Structures are given as C-alpha cells and as structure tokens.
C-alpha cells in the first residue's frame, strides 16, 4: 500500500461519515415523519380544496371586519321594495305600469341608469287583455275594449326603451331547450377562450321577449354563496352553454360609461382570466382567474335605500307638489346608479357577507358597483398564488432548519418573529394595495411542523434518557400570503374638439424583420410584440386607435376624460422603452432561428436584426369621435396634432433616440426629465416646432448627472443656433461624457456630423441671419 493510497482511505471514510451524519440529521429520529407532513401540507396548499380555500377566505373576512371600506359619498342607490311598500301597494309583483312609473321618475330625477335586481319572466297578470279573459260575466263590448288595449308589458317595454335601463336575468338550475336565446351584449376575448374558467349555469331565466328587446342592457344578478353561505366572490361574467353573460353590475357600468364591447382578457401565464375591459372608455376591471370580483364591503348604509312609497308618492301627480317631489328625489339619485331591488324579508332575497349576517341581496350588487367605482375592489393577482406556495415552503424549511440549528426554544421565538412579519406583510398589502395574500396557511403549517419536530425531538430525547438511565442511573440528559351592445347615441357620425395627447410607435427595421418570416410566422411575431405594448398602453388608460402593421396609434382623454393625460403618455413611453429591452432579449432566439433558416434558403448569411422602438408624442386640440360614412365608421381622432405626432415618431430615427416629444406635451408635465433635441420643420408643415426627448422620470430629472447633461445640452443649442461651431463642439464633448448613461451618444454624434456639413456649406448665405430651424429631410 502506497502512502497516497493510505492517505486516501481516511478521507473517503470521512466523506462517508459526513453523508451519514447529514442523512441522520435530516431523517433520523423519526424526522421523516415531519418531511411527510410537510409534503402533505404543501400538496394540500397547491390543490386548495374548498375547505382550505374557505379557511383562507375567512382570514380575509377578518381583515374586512377590522378595516371595512369607508362608504363615503354614495354612488349607488336602491329603489327599495320594502315591507312598508308591500303593505301599501300589495304583494309583489306589482303591475308593470307601476314599475315603469318608478323608472320614469328616477330618470327624470337625474339617475344615470336604472338596473333591476328582479326578473320579469311572466306576463303581467293585471294586463287589460288578460283581465278580459279572467273576469267572469263581463259584457262583450267591455271585454273587446280591454282586449284592444296595449298590455302592461308593452307599456313597460316602451318606458325602458326611452330610459336607460338594464334588465336583470338569473341563472336557471335546469337546462332548457327551444325558444329564443336571451339577448346579450357584444363580447370578445383576448389570447384564448376563457369560457372553461367561468362560473356556469344550465340555463338563463330571462325577461319576456318584448321587454328584453326594449332594454339597452341585460345582466345576470345571480351570485354564488361559498360553502359557508357567505357571498365573497361575485362573477363578473358567467357561461350558459357556449354563451357568455355579464353580471348586472358590469352591464350597468357598460351602459353608464357608453362602452361598446366587453373584452374578457385571458392570461396564458396564469391559465385563466385576467380582467374585463369595458371597451370604448377602456375601463379595466380586474378579476380572479375564474372571472370573479371581490368587493370590499362597507357597513350597509340605510340612507342608500329609497322606499318605493316615496318614489310613488301622490306628490308626483299633483301639479302643485310635483316639482318639490322631483327635487327631493333628485337630491338622492342625480348622477348616480340606481338598483331596483327588495329588502322585504318576505321576498327571500337575503344574503350574508363577511361583514353582516343578513343584508338584502340588492346590497351585494350595490357594494360591488361602489367597490369598482372607488377602485377598492379586493384583488388576488396571479402572483399571489405562487407567492403563497413559496411562503409555505419557505416557512416549513425555516422551521426545519431552525429546529436543526437553534433548538425548540429559540425556534419558537423565531417562529413568532417570522409569523409577525408575514402577518404584517399580508395586512399591509390589504390596507395599502387591496391585495389578498394569505399567510395564515404558511403560519399554521410551519407551527404544525414545529409541533411535530418538537414532539419527535421529545420522543427521541425521552428514548435517549431511558437508554442512559438503564446504563448510568445517576446521569440525566437535558432535553417555525389575488364591451358590442351599442348605445343608440354612440352610433352616430360626428365628433368633438378636445385637448388630447396622441402617441405613435414603430418598430425600427421592421422591413428587415418581416423578410425573415412567412405571413403566419410574422403574425405570430407581431402578436408577441404588440400584446405587451398594448397592455402597457391600456394600463395607462390609453385608447388604442389602430395598429398599422408594426405601428401602434393611441390617444388619451377620449372617449372618457383622463386627468393629466400627457403624464400618462410619458409614463407609457418609459414603460415601453423598458419592456422593449426585455422583449428584445426574449425574441432574440426566435429572430436568430428565422435568420438562420432564411440564410439556408437564400444561400448567403442573413444578419440578425436588433429590435428597437421609435415613439412620438404630441399634445393639442383634436377632433375625436365616430368618423366615416353612414355605412361604416369608427371611433378615431383627427387633426394637425395627430399628424405632428406621427411625424415626430418618424424623426426619432434620424436623431438616434427612441422617442421625440413635442414642446406642447413637455409644457403639460413637470415630473419627467427632458432634453431639447432641435427646432425642426417637419414634412408637411411650414411652422417650426421645438422637439425634446424623454430621458427618464422624476428621480432622473433630479439626478446630478442629468442636470449636468441638461446644462451642457442647453449650451450646445445656444452655440449651434448662433453658428458658434467651435463652442458647439466643446458642448458636444461635454455632453458625451454623460450621454452613455442615457444612450444618447448617437444624438450628439449626429450633431457633430451636421456641424461638419454646415462648416463646409453654411445653413444660410453669408450675411443672412439663421433662425436655427432644421428642415427635416424625411417623414
């Protein structure tokens, strides 16, 4: 045996001993039981059966009870079918003419839209034509006269046709066949079919066809209670067969905002539904993956409820009191959404919520509407599920590691610290972000692991003590968080003048990219680019006007007002710039593969294009509205402001920047870092415009490096326009010291090249004064 062999054997034994020690530390003493419990707990969390889901939702119930939503100024009112109204007017249903009177008075008082938490599925039994056949002994001439009168249902339909009303529908418990399909608004989806993820009903109980056809909107008022009977999650959309129906609340918002279509956006990353968009105003309503909404409940405000007796008061029929009665009603409903529903217990529409054990069912819809309108919906973004799983695994691992390294006493203290931190994080997200992150399962699971390990350690220590007592009687061992039913007045030609911000973007070198793909491949590639860019614009409340090949045209402040729309456009530029950098990396393998395939086809190397974006933004007065012919038109924007925005996007390439912003836009904002680029006369215009490039946000604006760059850039502009070419070169050199940080080297090299040209051939003949305007050579 050599010395080398003799030295190797102890090392091998030492390594083997270390493996044995680690194995015993992890699985010895019955610790495999703890690993089994941990695996079962993680599996239970991932599977999330109803019992676990309810426990997790009950934690969020507690949050709502500790911090309910502040009701504030009511935006939704209820025309209440209460006990007093039933005593005075008789049992429900009342004649449709009476209900129509309620609608007319509410709308006359200034209600925005009236929604019904009831369904009119059967003919009005008190209609004159029906009474003609029901009253015995009626003279034939009187019977004929009653039959000639319009039915109450026809009269009611005419009333809701002339007043913005949304009818209620309910999910049926039995499948039906035959008969007309209930009317539905126009609905579309993005990315993939979301219907398998929606709550489904076998059928729909709809209103009489004559009433359904007259209404401007229809929505389901069905809500599904959880297994413990509480209403926490309300479907924004639901499925009946292959048809999709919006909730009553969503449809009321669509009608109130003059939205054209409901767009259900599915997300491949979560394998479910992301949100519902009211197209037109681009009102985004986030949902969970099953298309459900989580209202943040407030205590039921009694002042929300207006008794039907008050609305049907005789004061409205007296010429001397009608004005005062209408004024009183207007003070309560003007500018608000109104739901018609029942609080009378006899009508059996009582629900339980996390805050209250018994409230009228119509209150659930009112609370949901106000949660949407006040942007206080509780959310469970897709990332919360993944984070909850990670937190559970991390908490269990920390408990196991703590027990191994610290022992039971210090691990318990460590458990309380971690549990307090997780609980604080979950509470912070609920209060500040309205985001639900469950950490209770992680805390409970880690504590259970702590108990199991403590027990296993105890039994192990007990066994050791027993063993030691048997050998040495005198020795004792001491023993750790989830729009095309159109408005009639929208489908008209015409527009209005508004101050707006217009945005154009384009992919640099798109022609080169397009040559790499066939039509199908190019379409797929463009979808990968346009989808994230569109998401950014929509999140910043832009209206996507159109796609022109690879170009995106969007605008702000129409069809709904967007405060600080120029700021929103600037944020969009910065976010698209950042997303383009990551997207370029993500799509690089696809471009490389396509270039290699094309090279084989052509027989010579094909360069791999680098993706870059060019953007142009301008703010000013525009004509916006439905433009086109009487046969075909679309909502769009027109005017000189739009043309200039398009020209500015085109100028980003010759100036070697990714965006050009007009002086009009720069004047509207204050919290962004801009550099003046030039005074330019673009193609198609005779007046010069001062243009800028957006460098960054407020922190960049306040940074010392940007302030120095801006100072030297201003010096460059002064020297350049004064034809002080040497001074301009010194300023360029100074700017280039800071330019790499902001990727602006190309801008200053362009100025260096232009100055070289001007020294050879001055911009104006000798003796004339140059105005500093550069005439663009390209669009």
User: Per the structure block, which two tokens stand in for 380?
Assistant: 């469970």
Name the DSSP class of 773: P
From CA 643, how far away is CA 646, in angstroms rounded?
5
**Vertex 247, ends 242 and 251: CA angle to 5°?**
105
In this prediction, residues 32-57 reach a mean pLDDT of 78
pLDDT higher than 70, residue 418 = yes
Instruction: Answer for the pair 719, 727: CB distance below 8 angstroms, yes or no.
Output: yes
From CA 259, how far away is CA 185, in angstroms rounded?
10
Average pLDDT of the chain is 84
Instruction: Answer for the pair 690, 676: CB distance below 8 angstroms, yes or no.
Output: yes
Residue 269 burial by CB count (10 A; 0-12/13-18/19+): exposed, middle or buried? exposed
Residue 713: its pLDDT value, please? 96
From CA 184, how far away is CA 77, in angstroms rounded?
25
Instruction: Answer for the pair 292, 348: CB distance below 8 angstroms, yes or no.
Output: no
pLDDT higher than 90, residue 332 = yes
At residue 217, the 3 state secondary structure works out as: strand
Residue 23: its pLDDT value, please? 52
Give me the half-sphere count of Cα atoms (radius 13 Å) on the Cβ side of residue 16.
Answer: 6
Residue 750: its pLDDT value, please? 93
From 706, 778, 691, select the one nearest 741 (Cα to Cα).
706
pLDDT higher than 50, residue 477 = no
Reported confidence tier of residue 482, pLDDT bands at 50, 70, 90: very low
From CA 695, how far away is CA 666, in angstroms rounded?
12
Residue 20: its pLDDT value, please? 52
pLDDT higher than 70, residue 511 = yes
From CA 655, how far away is CA 649, in angstroms rounded?
11
From CA 36, how far away is CA 54, in angstroms rounded?
24
At residue 516, the 3 state secondary structure works out as: coil
Element (H, E) at 494: strand 494-508
Helices and strands of the chain, counted as H and E runs: 25, 27
pLDDT higher than 90, residue 619 = yes
From CA 70, how far away is CA 371, in angstroms rounded?
10
From CA 67, how far away is CA 426, in angstroms rounded?
13
pLDDT higher than 60, residue 560 = yes
In this prediction, residues 490-503 reach a mean pLDDT of 76
Residue 365: its pLDDT value, please? 94
Residue 336: its pLDDT value, please? 94
Lowest mean pLDDT among 324-338, 597-611, 730-744: 597-611
From CA 653, how far away is CA 659, in angstroms rounded?
9
Conformation bin of residue 697: beta by default, left when phi > 0, alpha when psi is -120 to 50 = beta
Residue 455: its pLDDT value, please? 74
From 346, 249, 356, select the one nearest 301 (Cα to Cα).
356
Residues 6+ apart with CB under 8 A from 493: 625, 626, 627, 628, 629, 630, 633
Residues 6+ apart with CB under 8 A from 576: 505, 533, 536, 537, 613, 615
pTM for this one? 0.55
Residues 6+ apart with CB under 8 A from 407: none
Compute CA distances 351 → 168, 220, 225, 619, whole Å: 17, 16, 8, 50
Residue 476: its pLDDT value, please? 26
At residue 439, the 3 state secondary structure works out as: coil
* DSSP string across 255-302: HHTT--EEEEEEETTTTEEEEEEEETTTEEEE--TTSEEB----PPPG
Task: Give the best-scoring range by mean pLDDT among 129-133, 205-209, 274-278, 735-739.
Answer: 735-739
Question: What is the percent of the chain where pLDDT is above 70?
Answer: 89
Reported confidence tier of residue 270, pLDDT bands at 50, 70, 90: confident
Residue 189: its pLDDT value, please? 87
Burial 194-208, CB ≥16 within 10 A → b, else e: bbebbbebebbbbbb
In this prediction, residues 583-591 reach a mean pLDDT of 88
Question: What is the percent of the chain where pLDDT is above 90?
Answer: 43
**Residue linked to tokens 């359904």:** 212
Residue 78: its pLDDT value, please? 95
In this prediction, residues 81-100 reach a mean pLDDT of 91
Lowest mean pLDDT among 35-49, 250-264, 450-464, 635-649: 450-464
Residue 628: its pLDDT value, please? 74
Conformation bin of residue 229: beta by default, left when phi > 0, alpha when psi is -120 to 50 = left
In this prediction, residues 53-62 reach a mean pLDDT of 85
Task: Please say whether the dihedral angle defined by the alpha carbons of residues 312, 315, 317 and 322, taken in this order, is positive or negative.
Answer: negative
Name the DSSP class of 433: I
Phi and psi torsions of 606, nearest 5°? -115, 120
**Vertex 335, ends 333 and 341: CA angle to 5°?**
45
Q: Are strands 292-293 and 234-235 parallel, antiparallel or unpaired?
A: antiparallel
Burial 82-109, CB ≥16 within 10 A → b, else e: beebbeeeeeebbbbbbbbbbbebbbeb
Q: What is the 3-state secondary structure (H, E, C) of 44-97?
A: HHHHCCHHHHHHHHHHHHHHHHHCCCCCCCCCEEEEEECHHHHHHHCCCCCCHH
**Residue linked to tokens 């941990």:** 38
496 vs 461 pLDDT, higher one: 496
From CA 400, how far away is CA 454, in angstroms rounded?
10
Residue 181: its pLDDT value, please? 55
From 112, 219, 79, 212, select the one nearest 157 (Cα to Cα).
212
pLDDT higher than 90, residue 184 = no
Instruction: Answer for the pair 738, 711: CB distance below 8 angstroms, yes or no.
Output: no
**Vertex 490, ends 266 and 665: CA angle to 5°?**
75
pLDDT higher than 70, residue 489 = no
In this prediction, residues 683-708 reach a mean pLDDT of 92
At residue 100, the 3 state secondary structure works out as: helix
From CA 502, how far away is CA 491, in angstroms rounded?
23
Cis peptide, bond prior to residue 126, ω within 30 of zero: no
Compute CA distances 695 → 573, 659, 682, whole Å: 10, 9, 22
Q: What is the 3-state secondary structure (H, E, C) of 639-650?
A: CHHHHHHHHHHH
* DSSP string across 732-766: HHHHHTTGGGGT-HHHHHHHHHHHHHHHHS-SS-T
Instruction: Answer for the pair 651, 616: CB distance below 8 angstroms, yes or no.
Output: yes
Phi and psi torsions of 348, nearest 5°? 55, 40
At residue 124, the 3 state secondary structure works out as: coil
The angle that helices 382-405 and 31-47 make with each other, rounded to 10 degrees, is 170
List pLDDT tens digits, range 91-106.
889 999 999 999 999 9
Reported confidence tier of residue 451, pLDDT bands at 50, 70, 90: confident
pLDDT higher than 70, residue 263 = yes
To the nearest 10°, the Cα dihedral for 575, 577, 580, 585?
-110
Residue 709: its pLDDT value, please? 96
Residue 666: its pLDDT value, please? 96
């Amino acid at each position: 045996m050599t010395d080398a062999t003799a030295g190797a054997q102890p090392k091998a034994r030492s390594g083997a001993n270390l493996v044995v020690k680690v194995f015993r530390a992890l699985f010895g003493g019955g610790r495999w039981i703890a690993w089994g419990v941990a695996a079962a707990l993680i599996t239970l969390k991932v599977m999330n059966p109803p019992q676990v889901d309810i426990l997790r939702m009950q934690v969020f119930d507690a949050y709502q009870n500790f911090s309910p939503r502040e009701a504030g100024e009511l935006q939704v009112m209820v025309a209440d079918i209460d006990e007093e109204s039933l005593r005075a007017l008789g049992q429900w249903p009342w004649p449709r003419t009476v209900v129509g009177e309620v609608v007319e008075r509410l709308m006359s008082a200034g209600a925005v839209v009236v929604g019904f938490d009831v369904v009119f599925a059967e003919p009005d039994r008190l209609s004159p034509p029906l009474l003609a056949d029901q009253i015995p002994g009626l003279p034939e001439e009187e019977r004929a006269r009653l039959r000639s009168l319009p039915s109450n249902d026809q009269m009611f339909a005419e009333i809701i046709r002339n007043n913005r009303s949304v009818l209620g529908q309910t999910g049926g418990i039995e499948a039906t066949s035959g008969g007309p399909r209930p009317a539905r608004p126009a609905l579309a989806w993005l990315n993939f079919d979301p219907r398998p993820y929606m709550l489904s009903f076998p059928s729909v109980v709809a209103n009489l066809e004559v009433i359904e056809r007259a209404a401007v909107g229809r929505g389901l008022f069905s809500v599904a209670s959880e297994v413990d009977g509480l209403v926490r999650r309300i479907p924004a959309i639901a499925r009946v067969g292959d048809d999709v129906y919006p909730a009553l609340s969503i449809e009321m918002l669509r009608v109130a905002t003059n939205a054209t279509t409901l767009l259900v956006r599915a997300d491949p990353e979560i394998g479910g539904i992301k949100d519902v968009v009211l197209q037109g105003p681009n009102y985004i309503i986030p949902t969970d993956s099953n298309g459900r909404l989580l209202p943040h409940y407030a205590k039921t405000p009694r002042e929300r409820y207006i008794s039907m007796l008050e609305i049907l008061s005789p004061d409205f029929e007296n010429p001397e009191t009608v004005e005062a009665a209408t004024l009183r009603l207007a003070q309560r409903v003007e500018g608000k959404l109104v739901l018609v529903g029942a609080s009378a217990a006899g009508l059996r529409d009582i629900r339980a919520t996390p805050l209250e054990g018994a409230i009228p069912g119509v209150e659930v819809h009112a609370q949901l509407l106000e949660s949407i309108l006040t942007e206080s919906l509780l959310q469970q973004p897709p990332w919360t599920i993944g984070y909850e799983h990670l937190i559970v695994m991390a908490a269990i691992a920390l408990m196991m590691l703590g027990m191994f390294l610290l022992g039971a006493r210090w691990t318990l203290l460590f458990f309380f610290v971690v549990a307090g931190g997780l609980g604080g994080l979950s509470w912070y997200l609920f209060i500040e972000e309205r985001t639900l992150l469950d950490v209770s399962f992680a805390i409970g699971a880690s504590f259970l692991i702590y108990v199991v390990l403590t027990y296993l350690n105890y039994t192990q220590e007990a066994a050791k003590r027993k063993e030691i007592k048997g050998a040495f009687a005198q020795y004792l061992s001491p023993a750790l968080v989830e729009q095309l039913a159109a408005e009639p007045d929208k489908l008209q030609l015409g527009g209005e003048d508004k101050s707006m911000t217009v945005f154009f973007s384009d992919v640099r070198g798109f022609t080169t990219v397009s040559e790499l793909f066939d039509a199908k491949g190019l379409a797929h590639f463009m979808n990968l680019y346009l989808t994230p860019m569109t998401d950014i614009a929509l999140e910043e409340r832009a209206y996507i006007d159109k796609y022109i090949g690879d170009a995106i045209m969007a605008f702000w402040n129409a069809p709904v007002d967007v405060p600080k729309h120029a700021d929103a456009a600037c944020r969009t530029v910065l976010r698209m710039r950042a997303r383009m950098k990551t997207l370029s990396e993500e799509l690089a393998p696809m471009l490389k593969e396509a270039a290699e395939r094309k090279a084989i086809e052509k027989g010579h190397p094909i360069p791999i294009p680098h993706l870059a974006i060019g953007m142009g933004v301008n703010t000013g007065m525009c004509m916006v509205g439905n433009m086109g012919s009487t046969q075909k038109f679309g909502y769009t924007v027109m005017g000189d402001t739009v043309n200039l925005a398009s020209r500015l996007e085109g100028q980003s390439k010759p100036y070697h920047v990714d965006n050009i912003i007009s002086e009009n836009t720069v004047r509207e904002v204050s919290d962004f870092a801009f550099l003046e680029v030039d005074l330019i006369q673009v193609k198609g215009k005779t007046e010069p415009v001062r243009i800028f490039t957006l460098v960054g946000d407020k922190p960049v604006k306040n940074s010392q490096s940007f302030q120095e760059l801006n100072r030297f850039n201003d010096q460059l502009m002064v020297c350049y326009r004064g034809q002080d070419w040497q001074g301009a070169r010194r300023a360029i050199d100074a700017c280039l010291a800071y330019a790499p940080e902001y990727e602006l080297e190309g801008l200053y090299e362009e100025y260096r090249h232009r100055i070289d040209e001007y020294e050879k051939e001055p911009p104006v003949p000798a003796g004339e004064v140059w105005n500093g305007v550069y005439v663009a050579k390209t669009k």
